[in-house]
């Protein structure tokens, strides 16, 4: 059993729940013109930490599994095969972009000088990151080869 893959599979739910929580609470705070609270900062911090752990697990899977081996053998071949291209290039690259957006977003929110701007930046940076994550998860309805289970199989 590959425990790194198992954790990477389960942790996706924490990433998604925290991301949805951050985005929905920012959207409702904008509508009701709430003040930026300590709890808002805390949820976005937990979202960032979950993304950091997920990235670390992903990098371990990438460099210890077959995907990086395939890249070393030849990028041309990787790009021709949809499954290899997905895991060796698209999933990894897009998730790193989402992770960067979360980190840049946290510092942009910190630097914003009023509460409305903090919520607006939360919505833009974290919302975009969440969208990328949702689109790049290998959901069971993706084509054969890419599709993975919603939960680990024991």
In the complex, the residues that contact ligand HEM under the rule CB under 6 A are: 5, 8-9, 12, 15, 51, 54-55, 58-59, 61-62, 65, 67, 87, 91-92, 95-96, 98, 133, 137-138, 148-149, 152
Pick the closer one to ligand HEM by CB: 29 or 78: 78
Pick the closer one to ligand HEM by CB: 4 or 41: 4
> How many C-beta atoms surround the C-beta of residue 105 within 10 A?
23
Q: How far is the CB of 112 from ligand HEM (least distance, A)?
A: 24
Collapsing DSSP to helix, strand or coil, 152 comes out as coil
Q: How far is the CB of 148 from ligand HEM (least distance, A)?
A: 4
Collapsing DSSP to helix, strand or coil, 137 comes out as coil
Q: How far is the CB of 120 from ligand HEM (least distance, A)?
A: 23
Pick the closer one to ligand HEM by CB: 28 or 73: 73
Collapsing DSSP to helix, strand or coil, 117 comes out as helix
Assigned token pair, 105: 């977003």
Q: How far is the CB of 76 from ligand HEM (least distance, A)?
A: 20
> How many C-beta atoms surround the C-beta of residue 79 within 10 A?
13
The residue of the chain with the least Cβ separation from ligand HEM equals 58
CA–CA separation, 123 vs 130, rounded Å?
A: 10
Q: How far is the CB of 87 from ligand HEM (least distance, A)?
A: 5
Residue 31 CA: distances (Å) to CA of 13, 56, 116: 27, 36, 10
Pick the closer one to ligand HEM by CB: 58 or 127: 58
Contacts of residue 131, defined as CB under 8 A and 6 or more positions apart, other chains included, come to none
């Amino acid at each position: 059993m590959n425990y790194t893959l198992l954790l990477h599979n389960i942790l996706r739910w924490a990433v998604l729940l925290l991301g949805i929580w951050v985005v929905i609470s920012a959207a409702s705070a904008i509508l009701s013109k709430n003040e930026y609270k300590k709890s808002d900062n805390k949820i976005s911090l937990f979202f960032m930490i979950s993304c950091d752990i997920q990235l670390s697990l992903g990098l371990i899977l990438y460099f210890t599994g077959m995907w990086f081996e395939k890249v070393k053998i030849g990028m041309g071949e990787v790009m021709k095969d949809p499954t290899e291209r997905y895991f060796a290039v698209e999933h990894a690259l897009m998730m790193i972009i989402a992770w960067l957006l979360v980190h840049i977003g946290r510092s942009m929110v910190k630097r914003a000088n009023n509460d409305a701007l903090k919520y607006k930046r939360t919505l833009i940076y974290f919302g975009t990151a969440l969208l990328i994550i949702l689109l790049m998860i290998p959901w069971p309805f993706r084509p054969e080869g890419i599709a993975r289970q919603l939960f680990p199989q024991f």
